[in-house]
Amino acid sequence: MSPRGHLFLRSPPARIFTAIFRPPFAGLPIVVWIYFVLCFFVHPHSQILKGNFVDPDDYLYLVQTTDWLQGQSWFDNIQHRLNPPAGAPIHFSRLYELPLAGLIASLRLLLNNVDAATIAAVIFPPVMLALFFLVMRFAAMPFVGARWSRITPYILLFTNILIIQFAPGRVDHHGTVVMLAMAAFGCIVRMIAKPRAPGWPISAGFLLALGLAIGLEILPVLILTAAWIGWWSVVKGKDAAHAAALFGLALCAAAAGFLALTKPIVSFFTIDTLAYSIVYVIFAGCIAVVLAGIALASRVKPSWPRYAIGIGLALFSGALFLHFFPDLLRGPYGGVDPALAKLMFDNIGEAMPRISGVGWKATVIGLLLPLLLLLALRRMPDVRKADSHYWSWGLLAILFLDTAVLGAFYQSRALFFTLAFSTLFLAWFLKNGLVWAGENLKGPALMVARAGIVLLAGPLPMVLLPALHEGRSFYPDIVLFPVLQEANTCDLHPVARFLSSARPYNERPYLLMNMINDGAELLFRTPHMVLSAPFHTNTEGNLDAVRFFAARDATEALSIARRRGVELVVMCRVLPDVYRGPKDGAADAKASKSSFAEQLADGETPAWLGPLPLPGDFLLFRVLPR
């Protein structure tokens, strides 16, 4: 290298650069965080710059939080402007809303409600992302060591659907639930290594209970983790069994405590499988009983009582629990009305499987793949160093593979967990791959090997190859790849401005017949009431809205509008398939007719609807009096 080249490498900028991208990767998390957040403020198509959020859940979280700040009871989880007069129970947790509420309340000293909530939604997720980076480093340390644990933010940057949960404007709870699961996982790995330290099992139980109270999607992770801890305690005996019992006790106590914090006494024992309730406290209690039974059995010297009591209690308590709550055999949303479940899960992306139509094969895959990987783990050098490594890697393998199967064949939201667990595998791959290259290669071969390993850990499979396949542009699609998101089909801002300022619609709340994906944003941007929004509670308004827009004639739609007391109809000209009627190959003439929504979009307005002038792609009608 020339003297000028050596001088550059010794310069302060070069030293900073090399320090960031070499162990211990000091500054790498900060660089990744700045780049990720900055993308959303320089991307020409970033929705957050227009004041839009990409998911209805974000709007409704802000509505629920501002309603609470304006006087709605802490214990009242009903959204009263959705599906009036009954309202709609919302499964969001006040516990998660607490920090968001503090931020909004501070901003409300200077701004109105909508502006304060919007700015809070921009600030809150990046703060949580910084915390998530710390949690992932904590989870990775037992697998790659402290010097390599800061590599995890680089890997997370390419996890697409996971890291986007921390994008500015994304205030839904999914990212926080994944973070709590990973924090609990880090505690459990340390519990396995040091079972006599009581802090780790207590912390793990508390964190998983908090995750369950905030979002039921953590349930599969909790079940798999508890089963693995139970098996570990059966095999290892006294110290492990006592640690496992402490975990179960902390889980149950924290679950009961969080329920007491979020439910009034009169509702404490109300059965509800669709939201956090006594059902899930009982489930945590079942886990505690099984683990406590194993701990008691570990007091005797023979190992067979542990196996007998552990397996027997697990089977008995599981069967008893499902006997009383059979809806959960169909998953955490098994209690949803079947017609509503079809509507919701056929039209909400994160509720759909990535691969459909496999049925029982998914269960077989979910059972066989972890078993095969557990056998393979026995041959890994890192695992063979200590028995605790096998139990830690085994838990990681089971959580990774089974959440992947759930995401592929049940609901894609499980892939959030899959990507988080895969980050630990990829961190191990990066560490061992780069160390091997440094020890065995030199010159150009070393440079190529290092570049290839770094690219394989994220950029190549998650950004570059998809970009080549789909023909994406270099800028902004590749350079600002975290902001790969679709624009809103129709801009709701003109509707919101009209309904909030034009007389007489700004004088009192009106009831709107709306399409399901627009409900939460209408609640956020206007003072009006809506019938429909995409939330998995048994809300009759969602079904009535589909019946209204999918009706085959105006008379059928009118009867629904009169029955529900609808005053205004709002709809996007670009119709989702759920509101369209079948065309070709229809069984009869009635089925072949256009839906009512299609008729309105084509300009066929019945006499009982009065069109209101509105710019943009939304249509707005007034329901005329009888």
| Alpha carbons 280 and 226: distance in angstroms, whole number | 14
Angle (CA) 331 335 339, round 5°? 105
Helix segments in 568-620, DSSP class H = 589-592, 596-601
Tokens of 194: 């040091």
> What per-residue confidence (pLDDT) applies to 408?
79
* Model confidence at 2: pLDDT above 50: no
> What per-residue confidence (pLDDT) applies to 348?
64
The domain boundary, picked from 444, 475, 501, lies at 444
Is the domain of 418 the same as that of 510? no
* Model confidence at 389: pLDDT above 70: yes
Name the most confidently modeled range: 160-169, 426-435, 457-466.
Answer: 160-169
Is the domain of 514 the same as that of 586? yes
Is the domain of 505 the same as that of 393? no
- 77-83: average pLDDT: 94
- What are all long-range contacts of 445-450, with beta carbons under 8 Å and residues at least 24 apart? none
**Residue 456, in any domain of the structure:** no
- 403-419: average pLDDT: 86
Q: What is the CA radius of gyration of the chain?
A: 27
The pTM is what?
0.91
- 463-477: average pLDDT: 90
| Alpha carbons 62 and 309: distance in angstroms, whole number | 48
Is the domain of 438 the same as that of 500? no
* Model confidence at 347: pLDDT above 80: no
> What per-residue confidence (pLDDT) applies to 22?
85
Burial status of residue 12 (CB atoms within 10 A of its CB: 0-12, 13-18, 19 or more):
exposed
More confident residue, 318 or 374: 318
Domain containing residue 587: CATH number: 3.40.50.12610
Burial status of residue 113 (CB atoms within 10 A of its CB: 0-12, 13-18, 19 or more):
middle
From residue 287, give the alpha-carbon distance in Å to each of 45, 257, 282, 406, 442.
48, 16, 9, 22, 54
| Alpha carbons 401 and 224: distance in angstroms, whole number | 11
Is the domain of 498 the same as that of 613? yes
| Structural element, H or E, at residue 453 | helix 443-456
> What per-residue confidence (pLDDT) applies to 385?
58
> Please, are residues 83 and 112 in contact by the beta-carbon 8 Å criterion?
no
* Model confidence at 321: pLDDT above 70: yes
Is the domain of 188 the same as that of 323? yes
> What per-residue confidence (pLDDT) applies to 350?
63
Is the domain of 532 the same as that of 601? yes
The domain boundary, picked from 414, 429, 444, lies at 444
> What per-residue confidence (pLDDT) applies to 339?
67
> Please, are residues 525 and 500 in contact by the beta-carbon 8 Å criterion?
yes
Min mean pLDDT across 264-273, 409-418, 428-437 is at 409-418
**Residue 142, in any domain of the structure:** no
Is the domain of 432 the same as that of 304? yes
> Please, are residues 581 and 595 in contact by the beta-carbon 8 Å criterion?
yes
> Please, are residues 483 and 476 in contact by the beta-carbon 8 Å criterion?
yes
Is the domain of 559 the same as that of 436? no
Min mean pLDDT across 155-164, 170-179, 214-223, 461-470 is at 461-470
Is the domain of 420 the same as that of 274? yes
Cis peptide before 89, with omega less than 30 degrees from 0? no
Mean pLDDT of the chain: 87
The domain boundary, picked from 444, 459, 483, lies at 444
| Structural element, H or E, at residue 543 | helix 540-549
From residue 241, give the alpha-carbon distance in Å to each of 190, 234, 299, 330, 542.
15, 7, 10, 31, 48
Q: Starting from the edge strand earliest in sequence, which strands make up the sheet with 568-572, in order?
A: 529-530, 511-513, 568-572, 618-623, 609-612
| Alpha carbons 161 and 104: distance in angstroms, whole number | 26
- 300-307: average pLDDT: 86
Angle (CA) 115 118 121, round 5°? 150
Give Cβ neighbours of residue 61 (< 8 Å, ≥ 6 apart): 92, 97, 100, 171, 172, 173
> What per-residue confidence (pLDDT) applies to 273?
86
* Model confidence at 375: pLDDT above 70: no
> What per-residue confidence (pLDDT) applies to 310?
92
Cα of first residue to Cα of last residue in the chain, in angstroms, is 88
Give the three-state DSSP class for 536.
coil
**Residue 275, in any domain of the structure:** yes
Helix axes 304-324, 219-236, angle to 10 degrees: 160
**Residue 124, in any domain of the structure:** no
> What per-residue confidence (pLDDT) applies to 83?
94
Is the domain of 284 the same as that of 373? yes
| Alpha carbons 553 and 596: distance in angstroms, whole number | 6
* Model confidence at 318: pLDDT above 80: yes
More confident residue, 428 or 4: 428
- The number of folded domains in the chain is 2
Identify which of 413, 394, 406 has the alpha carbon closest to the alpha carbon of residue 177: 413
| Alpha carbons 191 and 291: distance in angstroms, whole number | 15
Tokens of 19: 């320090």
**Residue 250, in any domain of the structure:** yes
> What per-residue confidence (pLDDT) applies to 40?
95
| Alpha carbons 47 and 430: distance in angstroms, whole number | 34
Number of H helices, E strands in the chain: 27, 7
Instruction: Give the range of the structural domain holding residue 256, as residue numbers without chain letter.
Output: 174-444
More confident residue, 142 or 406: 142
* Model confidence at 355: pLDDT above 70: no
* Model confidence at 369: pLDDT above 60: no
Is the domain of 297 the same as that of 372? yes
**Residue 370, in any domain of the structure:** yes
* Model confidence at 503: pLDDT above 60: yes
> What per-residue confidence (pLDDT) applies to 360?
43
Give Cβ neighbours of residue 70 (< 8 Å, ≥ 6 apart): 113
Tokens of 60: 């409704």
Could you write out the three-class secondary structure of 33-87?
A: HHHHHHHHHHCCCCHHHHCCCCCHHHHHHHHHHHHHHCCCCCCCCEECCECCCCC
**Residue 31, in any domain of the structure:** no
Identify which of 187, 291, 159, 181 has the alpha carbon closest to the alpha carbon of residue 236: 291
- 222-249: average pLDDT: 95
* Model confidence at 623: pLDDT above 90: yes
Min mean pLDDT across 401-405, 419-423, 551-555 is at 401-405
- What are all long-range contacts of 341-350, with beta carbons under 8 Å and residues at least 24 apart? 341/536, 343/516, 343/542, 343/543, 343/546, 343/578, 344/534, 344/536, 344/542, 345/411, 346/578, 347/516, 347/534, 347/576, 347/578, 348/534, 349/412, 350/174, 350/411, 350/412, 350/413
**Residue 478, in any domain of the structure:** no
